[in-house]
Structure 1
Amino acid sequence: MHNQNWDDLRFVLAVAEEGSVSAAARRLRVNHATVLRRVAAFEDRIGLQLFERTSSGYVVPPDHRRVIDAAREAAAAINAVDRVAQGVEMRLTGTLCLTSTDTFCQTVLPPICRELTAEGEALCVEMSCTNAHLDLARMEADITVRPTMRLPDGLIGERAGALGLAAYGPASAPTRDWLGLRGPLERSRVAEIMETTKPGPVRAAADSFIILRETVAQGLGNAILPHVLAAGDPRLDRLDRPDMALEIPIWVASHADIGGSARLRAFRSRIVSGLLARAERLGPR
């Protein structure tokens, strides 16, 4: 078992103890496909199909239970090492690469970064602002903060409240025209709402909620916007469209291969706390 990825043990043990992939995924706060992939990788490396796939779940045959016992002992030893090292790794030092959308980067993340750097010792936070999902598997970022209905395959993380959105229009010149979505926003829940409601003619479009807000303010059309951007803006009026009000979970996540480290868990915990402290500003109104 050379070059064993020991983090796979968490997934194997979760399936063995929960009896199903779905229950293991809920326990580990990852998706179903991630658990399947990690269990399959472990089985390939040891050259043994560890589980019997039955209609009632995943079962460990009696002659394979020794493997699970050994895995449990190995996991306990690894956790002991982690606890010893945690005092060093938990310090907020070094460089943290953080990516998020333009909405978050221009509203709540700068003060959260200020809090991190005030607490951290020689910490540098590098922020990447993009509405496209970076490939965390290629280490383009350590942590991503994203509003999404579910985490993509391969990411692990924690939920940090919800992003509230609703329909807004120009305060100075009410219009029946609407603004559309382009780029990554075309694959968002907001795009699904627009497609379902078909509110009216689309006169312009953008790939950024910040651009959409400014375009609404110019009177070109109405748009579904995050409250954190639109509420309180005197140039905008919230429209009486309850069918367009929605909330999207906010996730603070890392790639599964690195996200279990004590250092990234510590950073994610701080960022989650910062977002929850601003839940009223971000959430549904």
Structure 2
Amino acid sequence: MRDWENLRFFLAVARSGTVLAAAKELRVSHSTVLRRIDQFETSLDSKLFRKLQRGYELTQAGETLYAQAQDVAADIDRVLADAEGKDDATGGVLRISQPEIGILNMYPLYAGFRRLHPDITLQIHSTMQPSNVNQQEVDIVFRISESPPDLLVGRCLGQVKAKAYAHQQYLAGLGSQHNSGDYQWILWQPTAEANLALLARENIIDPNVVMYGASMPDVVSAIHHQMGAGFLSTQQAKLHRNLVPLFDGRVFAHYSVWMLTHRDLRNSTRVKTFMRFMADNLNLD
């Protein structure tokens, strides 16, 4: 059975001549386009592109397929566009999967969205586990990832920056002559495999870790109650005026934030309305 999605990736690369331009058009990662083209060529047992220094050039087989496929793809898009979103309206339930509070706080934006669209009910799932958008367990997912999954469409909203923070009263208690070696550390450890002590040990000489938190709210609360220093997103830290950035505000890590939905839901009125609002109003700087 042929995968019609691979045809869309083929057409995007054929039109643009580069994988990067195709990735921007399809709103997916560079690696996803490469993987899809490789899958398509393998399934057809035919080489469709020649990789040149300036980009991708169609082979004779690719030119033949491109000439025949454009009309077919247009017909498929028209059929799907006519079918999708028929039973949708700017109302009902919108299921959203988001990272834990403490990494990214969306609630100020959710509140603004609800004021504009009171007929839409938001069903929020806060988890670091990947919700299955492909099986449509949720409608929209916010993911911190450098490579979003296949079959999902959306956009990168920017980057979350991680810095080290401590409460100003905690720092005052260390005295004016303290140095970084005096800090006690509160670190996020949601699983045994995802131990953020590594971030501290890569950047801090012999860190004195006094607490591991299984969730980011635990870490935020411990730092807020002056138990020690820890790594937080700058977006989260702005919500707490008494938190002070350490190490002259050095950024220790960057994480890309993607807002994604299943391709079958891209014409849903609820989904389009929400995604447009979030993209226009989320500020990660």
Q: Which residue of 1 aligns with 2:224?
A: 217
Q: What's 2:142 paired with?
A: 145
Aligned to 2:64: 66
From 266, 275, 281, give the equivalent of 1:277.
281
Task: Quote the Cα distance in structure 2 between the aligned partners of 1:236 and 1:242.
Answer: 12
Question: How far did residue 270 of structure 1 move?
Answer: 2.6
Q: What letter matches 1:152 in structure 2?
A: P
CA distance in 1, matches of 2:265, 2:66: 21
Q: Report SS of the residue matched to 1:71.
A: helix
1:241 is aligned, of 237, 248, 251, to 248
Distance 2:215 2:28 in 1: 28
What secondary structure is seen at the aligned counterpart in 2 of 1:126? strand
Residue 261 (structure 1) aligns with: 266
| Partner of residue 28, structure 1 | 26
Answer yes or no: is 1:196 the counterpart of 2:192: no
- Give a deviation string over 1:165-187, Cα, whole Å, max 9, x none: 43221332325111223136975
Cα distance 1:147–1:268, how it changes in 2: closer, same or farther (>3 A)?
Answer: farther
Q: Percent of pairs identical after alignment?
A: 22
CA change 1:202–1:216 in 2 (3 A) is same
1:8-47 Cα shifts (integer Å, max 9, x gaps)? 32201012223343442243231233223433444455x3
Q: Is the 8 A contact 2:97 2:142 kept in 1?
A: yes
Distance 2:85 2:251 in 1: 47
The aligned residue for residue 49 of structure 1 is 46
CA RMSD in angstroms comes to 3.6
Match of 1:229 in 2: 236
CA change 1:76–1:139 in 2 (3 A) is same
* Matched-pair contact (CA < 8 Å) for 1:131–1:208: no
CA contact (8 A) 2:23 2:33 kept: yes
Q: Deviations over 1:45-102 (max 9, x none)?
A: 5x34151444545432335423211211112223333554567477334543210012
Q: CA separation in 2, counterparts of 1:247 and 1:185? A: 22
Deviations 1:242-261 (A, max 9, x none): 22465543321135xx3673
- What residue ranges of structure 2 are gaps of 5+ in the alignment? 175-182
Counterparts of 1:49 and 1:219 in 2: how far apart (Å)? 63
- 1:71-150 counterparts in 2 under 5 A? 71-85=69-83, 88=86, 91-103=89-101, 107-109=105-107, 111-112=109-110, 115=113, 119=117, 123-148=120-145, 150=146
DSSP-derived class of the 1:30 partner: coil
Cα deviation digits, residues 197-246 of structure 1 (max 9, x gap): 11531111124322111111232210121244333535533334322465
Aligned residues of 1:209 and 1:226 also touching (Cα < 8 A): no
Whether the 8 Å CA contact 1:131–1:184 is kept in 2: the answer is: no
| CA distance in structure 1 between the partners assigned to 2:238 and 2:59 by the alignment | 58
What's the offset of the Cα at 1:104? Answer: 7.2
Q: Distance in 2 between matches of 1:173 and 1:187?
A: 27
Q: Supply the distance in 1 between the matched residues of 2:115 and 2:3 (Cα, whole angstroms).
A: 32
**How many residues are paired up?**
272
Q: Per the alignment, do residues 115 and 215 of structure 1 end up closer, same or farther by CA in structure 2, a change over 3 Å counting?
A: same
Match of 2:169 in 1: 172
Change (3 A) 1:261 1:207: same
Whichever residue aligns with residue 204 of structure 2, its letter is: K
Contact 2:109 2:281 in 1 (8 A): no
